[in-house]
Structure 1
Amino acid sequence: MRTFKWITMFILLMVTILSGCMQNEQNSADSVEQLDQNEVKEFIWPESTPLEQGLNEEKLNLAEEQIKANYTSLYSLLIIKNGYLVYEKYFDWKNGETTTGVYSITKSVISALTGIAIDQGYLTGTDQKLSSVLTEMSEQSDPQKMDIALHDALTLSGGLATVDDDFENWIVSPDYLQFAMDKPMVTAPGAVFSYSTGLPHMLSAVLSRTTGMSTKEFADKSLFGPLDIVDYQWQQDSTGMYNGGTNLSMLPRDMAKLGYLYLQHGKWGGKQIIPEAWVEESTRKQINVDANTDYGYLFWIKTMQDEQGNKISAYEANGYRGQHIRMIPELNTVIVITSDAGSSEVANTDELMEKYILPALR
């Protein structure tokens, strides 16, 4: 009888232990599942053939022949159509694993981060003055500098003399921000477009100070991270500030992610990364550059023309000597081009896109 009692107690004890183990396993499984949901998933572009997405392969082949014959400074050409990678070619010694300097495409990244910072409450809006964050601007002799707003920096109309006219000295200066702020005022803030790499760098400083993170850390958290952009390089000045106007290097496939993010109104994987309203404001005319060119918030507004003479609206981030992320909403297309900025040949990449790539898209 006593033996039976001990056996019964042993069985009950084992049941209790096993039950606890099973519960622990279930809790562990729940934690892993929750972790998986919160992790940034590796993104691989879904691929399709040009024909399946409505491209003209004969004209696409002609474009490739033209690149090899007449646009020899190109490193890469990628086309995203309807969310699929339909064309990916690398030239010279480049490949898909090699980052390329995208130069002023950096400015468009700063635009995206500014919109995100406003949405997250770090900044109050585009009418906020840079001097409210960059308080050292009060030490400048010209009081007009205190009136430069985020809008003016985003539209390259801050009124300061451009650092690009003195780029060699700016890029080797120990403090890019101070160099840019020290430039004299030549027009009233917001009045005239004047291309300047210094203004987006001032935005980089604003982002860093208001978020409490470096510009790169904020990008990793709020933009690059969600897009699984991890393989890139970003230059800093001697103070540690990340260059807001140039000298970001990226993979072409990652450039395409930024383009498609904008094409999808700031949404990625069902999540709103950039506010939709900011995407719309950034990619419409905010200021006139010249008789044929308009500018948004650090994005160029483009008009293309097809073989029949029809005008097609587009916008793009572009960089020095042939770096492009061009979005064509009407055709649900992103075109990515990278080029050898040091080449003796200056390829007319706008001509390439309009004369040879656009006809293949329709």
Structure 2
Amino acid sequence: MPDLFMECGATSAKDLIAAQQADGLPRTDPSMAGVDADAIVAFLNDVEAAGLDLHAFMLHRNGRVVAEGWRWPYRPDRPRNLHSVVKSFTACAIGLALEEGLFKLDDKVVSFFPELIVEPDQGWLTEMSIEDLLTMRVGHASETSGAEWRSLNTSWIAEFFKIRLAQEPGTAFMYTSAASYMLSAILSRATGVTLHEYLKPRIFEPMGIEGESWDIGPDGINPGGNGLIARTADLLKLGVLHAQNGIWEGKRLLPESWVAAATTAHGEPAKYGYHWWTRPDGTYSAIGKFVQMTTVFPLHGATLAVTGAIKGSAKLFPYIDRYFPAAFRDQIRDDIEDGAAADARLKARLAEWQSPDAPAPWKEPYERAGALTDGARAPGQTERFLMHPNAQGVSELQFEFVDETCVFRLIDAHGEHVIAAGFGRWLESRANMPGSDLHHGYQLDNSPVVARACWLDNTRLQMTWIFAETAFRDTVICEFSGKTITFKREVNINGGELRHEDITGSLADSLAS
């Protein structure tokens, strides 16, 4: 087995604490910050009972992290694809650029791209302003998802100007990542640096946001609406910065007036601010696909950050509303004994999260199956299957069974892609496995994958691939029938199709090693 694969077990308490403290945020027990730990336990239990796949959460109140948890194999030090939460980081950059006098809210978008010609029947384009981009009132008839543009190798700026306007800019809300991309493009035109480079010294470094990465589009521009990978703590820090009206550790990072404007609704019915979602109760949120989210409770000095694999924030908000802000009860401080007992119950509940053996519906095949099934492929056996022509471009599949491990290789025009899945254990490696159409358009290059295998019966091999920096978890079933194979692959969540068409192949050879 290649040396690059390692077993992925539970994170030790010592390592978990070290990873948590690396974000630089001070911490205290929930009861000491006036937070009911039992309410947090009830929140987690109800979310789990509803079948919602919450991966991590952090709760901050009155200057300190008061509760946090990561469900295995997610960890505090693993960065995460934040999806559209990025839009609210982009808004920070626009607010700073306005403060620096680089442009104004009413500046026209076309003025930054004089090389592009506006067609006569696109006259409304000349009226579109920076503020229209911020409020998602650009006149588009439908949303442009980041997944639609990620496959393009041509200019995304030019692509934006091709979109026909259905309404006059500034009149009707239509959520679209295309608007956020143009904000990033305008910032780059005005500053000569990328959005990431602009935010790094102004926001990221002062707040201790490190180890992050941001995609670059074909124009040499960071997508302003997606593509940022950062820690759960960094997601929390974005919310806390706004909860503190732009102040971080005594230093002003954002203008107070900008924070107020960005988190105030600019029209009905969407109640959308400047790349922030607002709610009638005064809370506001940065929300990304599959519920990567930070929510601020201004009246309670609190911020909640979550990551998960959930089909829409509307599924999670009822549980947030049920327990927050009700969990913020300052009188808990007056009853230290009861508060400490509740804190201990929460700690025990969160310890369960870090176990690879914690129950989950998708783990059931591994609970039922043994490490190996009589009559299945023998240890030391290697098999190659030449695949019949298919839309995925897969030419060959290889299986090597060694040391209670299935080393799986998929070969296509781009090369060989390898994942090692353990029998009776989880293995972690880095992989470039294709399948962007199952992963919201993202090609996950050099991505950490946690994988396991089991035999469902003598002819069906199942593998689970957890892409640990994302919301995605793939289930692969290989059906062996004589000298043929049927390869099935599906994903837990996606913005598009959830499964590939099955592909088939024939045995090339079988070698004993």
TM-score w.r.t. the length of structure 1 is: 0.80
Please give the secondary structure, in 1, of the residue aligned with 2:234.
helix
Q: Is residue 285 of structure 1 aligned with residue 265 of structure 2?
A: yes
Which range moves more in the overlay, 49-58 or 201-210? 49-58
Runs of 5+ consecutive residues of structure 2 not aligned to the other structure: 1-21, 330-513
Alignment of 1:38-53 (within 5 A): 44-53=24-33
| Counterpart position of 2:57 | 77
Structure 1 contact 131–138 (Cα < 8 Å) conserved: no
Please give the secondary structure, in 2, of the residue aligned with 1:58.
helix
Aligned counterparts of 1:241 and 1:334: Cα–Cα separation in 2: 30
Please give the secondary structure, in 2, of the residue aligned with 1:164.
coil
Q: Is residue 361 of structure 1 aligned with residue 328 of structure 2?
A: yes
Q: Is residue 134 of structure 1 aligned with residue 104 of structure 2?
A: no
| Counterpart position of 1:266 | 246
Aligned counterparts of 2:115 and 2:253: Cα–Cα separation in 1: 32
Structure 1 contact 285–296 (Cα < 8 Å) conserved: yes
| Counterpart position of 1:215 | 195
Aligned counterparts of 2:275 and 2:313: Cα–Cα separation in 1: 23
Please give the secondary structure, in 2, of the residue aligned with 1:327.
strand
Structure 2 contact 243–298 (Cα < 8 Å) conserved: yes
Please give the secondary structure, in 1, of the residue aligned with 2:296.
strand
Structure 1 contact 115–274 (Cα < 8 Å) conserved: yes
| Counterpart position of 2:151 | 172
Whichever residue aligns with residue 112 of structure 2, its letter is V
Q: CA deviation at 1:168?
A: 4.5
Cα pair distance change 1:65/1:347, threshold 3 Å: farther
Structure 1 contact 316–324 (Cα < 8 Å) conserved: yes
Relative to its length, the structure with more strand (as a share) is 2
Structure 1 contact 162–197 (Cα < 8 Å) conserved: no
* Residue in structure 2 matching 1:300, options 277, 280, 286: 277
Structure 2 contact 116–158 (Cα < 8 Å) conserved: no
Q: CA deviation at 1:47?
A: 0.4
Alignment of 1:1-362 (within 5 A): 44-123=24-103, 125-141=104-120, 142-164=122-144, 168-174=147-153, 175-288=155-268, 290=269, 293-303=270-280, 312-340=281-309, 348-362=315-329
Aligned counterparts of 1:146 and 1:331: Cα–Cα separation in 2: 43
Whichever residue aligns with residue 298 of structure 1, its letter is H
Whichever residue aligns with residue 186 of structure 1, its letter is A
Which range moves more in the overlay, 70-79 or 213-222? 70-79
Q: CA deviation at 1:238?
A: 2.2
Aligned counterparts of 1:104 and 1:232: Cα–Cα separation in 2: 15
Structure 2 contact 300–325 (Cα < 8 Å) conserved: no
Relative to its length, the structure with more helix (as a share) is 1
Aligned counterparts of 2:305 and 2:127: Cα–Cα separation in 1: 37
Please give the secondary structure, in 2, of the residue aligned with 1:361.
coil
Q: CA deviation at 1:162?
A: 3.9
Q: CA deviation at 1:164?
A: 2.2
Render the CA deviation track for 1:114-142: whole Å, top value 9, x for unaligned. Answer: 0001111211x211111121223444441
TM-score w.r.t. the length of structure 2 is: 0.57
Cα pair distance change 1:71/1:322, threshold 3 Å: farther
Cα pair distance change 1:140/1:203, threshold 3 Å: farther
Whichever residue aligns with residue 303 of structure 2, its letter is V
Aligned counterparts of 2:68 and 2:119: Cα–Cα separation in 1: 49
Structure 1 contact 144–188 (Cα < 8 Å) conserved: yes
Please give the secondary structure, in 2, of the residue aligned with 1:348.
helix
Structure 1 contact 321–347 (Cα < 8 Å) conserved: no
Please give the secondary structure, in 1, of the residue aligned with 2:187.
helix
Q: CA deviation at 1:347?
A: 7.9
Structure 1 contact 235–243 (Cα < 8 Å) conserved: yes
Render the CA deviation track for 1:172-209: whole Å, top value 9, x for unaligned. Answer: 11222221221001100100001111011001000011
Aligned counterparts of 1:225 and 1:159: Cα–Cα separation in 2: 36
Please give the secondary structure, in 2, of the residue aligned with 1:295.
coil
Which range moves more in the overlay, 42-51 or 176-185? 42-51
Q: CA deviation at 1:91?
A: 1.4
Structure 1 contact 103–320 (Cα < 8 Å) conserved: yes
Structure 1 contact 148–189 (Cα < 8 Å) conserved: yes
Whichever residue aligns with residue 273 of structure 2, its letter is G
**Seq. identity, %:** 25
Cα pair distance change 1:140/1:244, threshold 3 Å: farther
Count of aligned pairs between the two proteins: 306
Render the CA deviation track for 1:65-109: whole Å, top value 9, x for unaligned. Answer: 223333441111110010110000111421101111111111111
| Counterpart position of 1:26 | none
Whichever residue aligns with residue 178 of structure 1, its letter is A
Q: CA deviation at 1:231?
A: 1.7
Whichever residue aligns with residue 351 of structure 1, its letter is P
Aligned counterparts of 2:150 and 2:119: Cα–Cα separation in 1: 21
Structure 1 contact 162–194 (Cα < 8 Å) conserved: yes
Cα pair distance change 1:347/1:339, threshold 3 Å: farther
Please give the secondary structure, in 1, of the residue aligned with 2:164.
coil
Aligned counterparts of 1:168 and 1:222: Cα–Cα separation in 2: 29
Whichever residue aligns with residue 230 of structure 1, its letter is E
Runs of 5+ consecutive residues of structure 1 not aligned to the other structure: 1-41, 304-311
Q: CA deviation at 1:318?
A: 0.5
